[in-house]
Chains A and B, each alone.
Chain A
Amino acid sequence: MTKRTGVFVCHCGKNIAATVDVKKVAQELAKDDGVVFSEDYVYMCSDPGQTAVIDAIKDNNLNGMVISCCSPTLHEKTFRDASELGDLNAFQCEIANIREQCAWVHKDMEVATEKALKITRASVRRVQHNQALEPIGVPVTRRAMVVGAGIAGIQAALDLTDAGLDVVLVEKQATIGGNMLKLSETFPTLDCSQCILSPKMVSVSKNSKITLMTESEVESISGFVGNFKVKIKKKAEFVDPELCKLCDDCTPVCPVAVPNEYDVGLTNRRAIHIPFAQAIPASFTLDEEACLGLNPVVCGKCEEVCDVGAIDYDKKPTVTEEDIGAIIVSTGFDLYGMEHMGEFGGGRYPDVLDGLQFERLCSASGATEGHIMRPSDHKVPKEIVFIQCSGSRDPENHCAYCSKICCMYTAKHATLYKHHVPDGQAYIFYIDIRSGGKGYEEFVQRSMENDGVIYLRGRVSRVYEKDGKLRVMGVDTLAGRNVEIDADMVVLAQAMEPSKGTAEIAKILKIARDKDGFLAEAHPKLKPVESVTAGIYLAGAAQGPKDIPETVSQAGAAASKVIALLSKDQLAHSPMVAKVRDPYCTGCEMCVDACPYDAITLVDGKASVNEVLCEGCGSCVGVCVRAAIDVKNVTQLQIHEMISAIMA
């Protein structure tokens, strides 16, 4: 076929044109073999620019188009759509990136123009061998998985079922609820956290469309958007939740006591325990690590006292495989470890607490039944110091980012303290007060004005124990003086960080994390709930620090994305998949071994690609010594042509 290739070189205003002689690039390319149209234009992505693409295709009967402009991540789709409007197959339009990879990183016009020419010419040579392709239609599994059942996961799961979708809700802990479960009241309204969360948890347990899998973790994933296969490993279910009557006969006989996670270590629990009274699923559970009974010679007391025979030490972990169409990851946050805050006595002094521990002290369901007292001596603290930005906004030593919710919850803590200990004095060390949010600023103001909380702008340099008190050495930068407070209790507003399992789940699901370890969204502005992997969405604090309303809205947003995705009968799968050149294949299976997606099998002694499973990574291409396999539109011929074009 006669090649009729068109080229547009974009000025991008001055973005490209300032460093690249776009006219020259267009003129030079006009001389290339097969190029029948080559022009420059000021803004290709503008409406007239796109129209020019359509017109150029139609007027010149083009069978290949190269737009030399910005990164393909930005406008590949734009120009492919435009090409389609001009009756040119979308896959016969390619982008040459002369902005990010050229104009923006070089200053010398001559040099940059030369490089832009090479980049564009390589794309021209590539597009001249592009095939017209159509997306591959893939059936969709109308079933979603939500990983992490905190408020984000719960909200997402419920929203999904509202749309009629089945949901597998996977939670690592023995109960759903996550960190919100531990909170006493929520700002700025001071309504009881459990009171608003528990009904949702019950809805989850009662929802027949939700398969709840607690004490479970995602082990592996295969497949692709619309058709994931997920292996979920559930810990051995030593206590049968169906049989457990919640009689609590078992805990008194259990000889093992370990710190209670629910109370952030402020109390102990037994190896057999119920995470908290209203746990969902409502059942006792056996802590495998702590239990002695897994070796019945040593212990077996709880089994003996269990009348209903709900306990079975011989239970093994189970792995189930689920067909899943889309995934929401909402694995939440952990507080930055107290052990990092040595200068504040974190992890060293029992009366230096983190925010969540303080929540437990305030909470009616907590160890002290809502009475604020020092863990060390159970005395009511009369002077209490809150330190904000503990571990946040400190790129040298700790986390560089702002954890966003600390200002608010510290104000809440101080207020709650004053409500519990009206004669006490609360001090808050802060750097800035960030109270953007509905009713937030008013809440902070109230804490100052109504509750007499003393806000000190400045950092704390040290906290140390002196005469049974905690001496806080700080500075009040507004007053310009050093401050020393002998406090009974110090509460550190610890930074938020992604929960411990986030790194692992990201690795398993092949979704990226940002530099701080939070799950990375596909685009910070335009795709805030999408991960870089199609079909996997993000919600809650695993994606970045956020408060409850924000978490709930992101969960809803992620759910609505999933609902939209799974509302289609078919999904479009990229047609840039591997293709076997049959006569060359000898069936050596190297590609079969190399394929990460198990997309290649041997059929009649020749490799055969399952186009739906193939992601087009080209691992097969890289290992085939016979060059018997190629990825469509990134063929070895095309790479060869591109190398030639660059080196010519």
Chain B
Amino acid sequence: MEKILRQEKLREWVDTLDDCEVYAPAFADSVWNFARVEAGTDIDLSHTNTIGSVKAFTFPQREVFFRFEKKDGVPVLTPTLPDPKPTVVFGVRPCDGRGMPRNDTVFNKEFEDPYYWARRNKLTLVGLACNQPHSPNCFCQSVGGSPHAEEGLDILMTDLGDRFHVKGVTAKGVEAMERGRDAFDAVSDADQTEVDKVHETSRSYPQRPIGDLDAISEALRESFDSPLWADMAQHCIGCGICTFLCPTCHCFDINDEVISPTTGEGERVRTWDNCQFPDFTMHTSGHNPRGDLGSRLRQRVNHKFLYFVENHKTQQCTGCGRCITECPVGIDIVAVLERVGQS
């Protein structure tokens, strides 16, 4: 389904989703981030990319698996599977959209993650194509995506100035459009031509090149023991920005949070974790298979461009560029790949 939505009708459409929690980008504290759209507030889709990725909607920073307590000395476990309202997220950039199926893979393969899926099944992603890259660090096209990629999105919107072109990609997306059908207009030939042109133009902007992805995987495989890694990580401070902001980083930790040591009450909680933290892989004995920053940088890059490819036949990275832009010390995954490729 393809429709035209005039700018001023956006709100009308959103209002038809009244049984849903609607999120859209908002500019606050000098950063764009997804925020709850309250009734009667404007939705501003002039955003660059949000600082946090859309992954938090299915993989929140804190997920309680279950509560535990002791009753008559016996542990009683109460699972806390989430039961969220249907959630619609507007303004999802295609790179984030492409992250979603990659995460789906992780949380589905071998063992299905019920917490992830409880949220995922209720989530509708309304994408917004990028008419031009908003950052010099965008490289979606270098990893097989595009500024108007539909993968992972339920709806793709394209900004045509005074109006949006809206395309229902999945059944879920179409259904969301159906609900607001009165807000939409039909797509004229001129509209179609303009959309195609906008898409074409958006693809024409230069992006950070990576080159042949297979060759990169091979180069990574070959350079596992290369001293390059230590060199490239020389200024890495080992923080978690790159992975926490990444739309496809999914590593987590599980901990017991005690509420009362006396009653034995507590919660088993999943939190985001980060391959850049030293204790991430450290054995209790103190032995650490990835004990230095170089090996941890390698893990991050290899995961995106080698291991994920080996396991799932596609790059995990979707080229959003957050890890580059937000790195406090200028570590640049594209430059890293370039150096590895040249070595």
Chain A: residues with CB nearer than 8 A to chain B?
A: 32-33, 121, 125, 641, 644-645, 648
- At the interface, yes or no: B227 with Cβ under 8 Å from chain A? no
Residue numbers in B under 8 Å from A33 (CB-CB): 261
Residue numbers in A under 8 Å from B262 (CB-CB): 32, 121, 645, 648
CA A125 – CA B260 in complex, angstroms? Answer: 13
CA A125 – CA B261 in complex, angstroms? Answer: 10
The A contact surface, by secondary structure, is helix
Q: Interface 1/0s, chain B 318-342, versus A by CB < 8 A?
A: 0000000000000000000000000
What are 11 sample pairs from A and B whose C-beta atoms fall under 8 A apart?
Answer: A32-B262, A33-B261, A121-B262, A125-B261, A641-B261, A644-B258, A644-B261, A645-B262, A648-B260, A648-B262, A648-B263
CA A506 – CA B262 in complex, angstroms? Answer: 46
Closest residue on chain B to residue A121 by CB atoms: B262
Shortest Cβ distance from residue B286 to the other chain A in the assembled complex, whole angstroms: 10
Residue numbers in A under 8 Å from B263 (CB-CB): 648
Q: A33-B261, A645-B262, A648-B262 are in contact. List 10 more A-B contacts (CB 8 A).
A: A32-B262, A121-B262, A125-B261, A641-B261, A644-B258, A644-B261, A645-B261, A648-B260, A648-B261, A648-B263
Residue numbers in A under 8 Å from B260 (CB-CB): 648
Closest residue on chain B to residue A647 by CB atoms: B260
Residue numbers in B under 8 Å from A32 (CB-CB): 262
CA A648 – CA B263 in complex, angstroms? Answer: 8
The B contact surface, by secondary structure, is loop
8 A Cβ contacts from B148-190 to A: none
CA A648 – CA B264 in complex, angstroms? Answer: 10
Q: How large is the interface on B (under 10, 10 to 19, 20 to 34, 35 or more residues)?
A: under 10
Give the residue among A32, A644, A648 with the most B Cβ atoms within 10 A.
A648
Shortest Cβ distance from residue B76 to the other chain A in the assembled complex, whole angstroms: 16
8 A Cβ contacts from B237-288 to A: 258, 260-263
Closest residue on chain A to residue B259 by CB atoms: A648
Shortest Cβ distance from residue B30 to the other chain A in the assembled complex, whole angstroms: 30
CA A645 – CA B196 in complex, angstroms? Answer: 66
- Which 7 residue pairs across A and B have the least CB separation, nearest first? A648-B260, A648-B262, A644-B261, A648-B261, A32-B262, A121-B262, A645-B261
Residue numbers in B under 8 Å from A641 (CB-CB): 261
Shortest Cβ distance from residue A211 to the other chain B in the assembled complex, whole angstroms: 58
CA A641 – CA B260 in complex, angstroms? Answer: 11
CA A32 – CA B261 in complex, angstroms? Answer: 9
Give the residue among B258, B260, B261, B262 with the most A Cβ atoms within 10 A.
B262
Shortest Cβ distance from residue B256 to the other chain A in the assembled complex, whole angstroms: 14
CA A334 – CA B290 in complex, angstroms? Answer: 75
CA A644 – CA B258 in complex, angstroms? Answer: 10
Closest residue on chain B to residue A28 by CB atoms: B262
Residue numbers in B under 8 Å from A121 (CB-CB): 262
CA A33 – CA B263 in complex, angstroms? Answer: 10
CA A121 – CA B263 in complex, angstroms? Answer: 12
Shortest Cβ distance from residue A35 to the other chain B in the assembled complex, whole angstroms: 11
Closest residue on chain B to residue A641 by CB atoms: B261
CA A33 – CA B258 in complex, angstroms? Answer: 14
Shortest Cβ distance from residue A475 to the other chain B in the assembled complex, whole angstroms: 68
Closest residue on chain A to residue B265 by CB atoms: A648
Q: Interface 1/0s, chain B 208-222, versus A by CB < 8 A?
A: 000000000000000
Residue numbers in B under 8 Å from A645 (CB-CB): 261-262
